[in-house]
Amino acid sequence: MNAFFKEFKEFAVKGSVIDLAVGVIIGAAFGKIVDSLVRDLVMPIISRFFGGLDFTNWFFVLGKIPESYDGPTTYEALTKAGVPLFAYGNFITILINFIILAIIIFLMVRQINRIKRETPPAEPPLTPEEVLLLREIRDSLKKS
């Protein structure tokens, strides 16, 4: 059992695992930012162009609404009431969210690749003078 924990410790403290954890945390936060961008900025503009449509309330009711339910017939209220819905409008919103996120990530990777191409390669280190002298001696011995 002790060997298991030792092996797990070696795995967990590797740089790649820590980098992955940081990437997941930043990715989750970035996803929330993009979600807010879509929900709070993009979708209201799209809704305005289409005459005040709210995509989240585009759905089909797949089951019976309980007799005792007297609330609004919105996606959020019916979902909380446990009514099964075919929420294609919510899917459209999430799809737009994904497309925007994919475009942003593509642009970031593209820019990083451009920066990598523009960075000149490092100059090779200068050969020490002792090595140069030894090469000269070697070459002169070859000639003899």
Query: What CA–CA distance (Å, rounded) separates 85 from 72?
Result: 14
pLDDT at 132: 87
Fold of 2-143: 1.10.1200
Determine the pLDDT at residue 90.
Answer: 83
pLDDT digits (tens, 9 = 90+) for 61-112: 888 888 888 888 888 888 888 889 998 988 888 888 788 888 888 888 898 8
| pLDDT tens-digit series, residues 18-72 | 778 888 888 888 888 888 887 788 878 877 887 776 677 788 888 888 888 888 8
